[in-house]
Amino acid sequence: GFGLPIIEANSLGIPVLCSNTSSHYEVSNNQNFFFDPRDAKDFSKQFNKLEKMFLDEKKPKKSDKQKKLINYSNKFSWDETCKKYINEINRYV
């Protein structure tokens, strides 16, 4: 998904549980929940943090973390993505 599903979820203020590999950090500016894919306990720990964030009814509708996700995801646009993609294709044509 080249990080697109992460950006899409973040644009709605929805944090994502991501493995700490590949481009996930770069795409989400370290605002999501990251786990070591080889460590089940780490996955469980990060999942519990994510779950707590959604289940805590005392928090305002959009937490600071969610606002940061939305703001950061606004730095990405389909227009820019398409232009860069086309430029890369044209390099090989």
**What proportion of the chain, given as a percentage, has pLDDT over 90?**
33
Cα separation of the two ends of the chain: 24
Structure tokens at 69: 């996700």
Residue 37's pLDDT is: 94
The Cβ of residue 62 has, within 10 Å, a number of other Cβ atoms equal to: 11
**Full-model pTM:** 0.73
Q: Is 57 helix (H, G, I), strand (E, B) or coil?
A: coil
Q: Which helix (H) or strand (E) holds 75?
A: none
CA 88/CA 76 separation, integer angstroms: 17
Per-residue pLDDT tens over the stretch 34-52 = 999 999 999 999 999 988 8
Nearest one of 92, 63, 76 to 29, comparing CA atoms: 76
- Distance (Å, rounded) from C-alpha 8 to C-alpha 2? 11
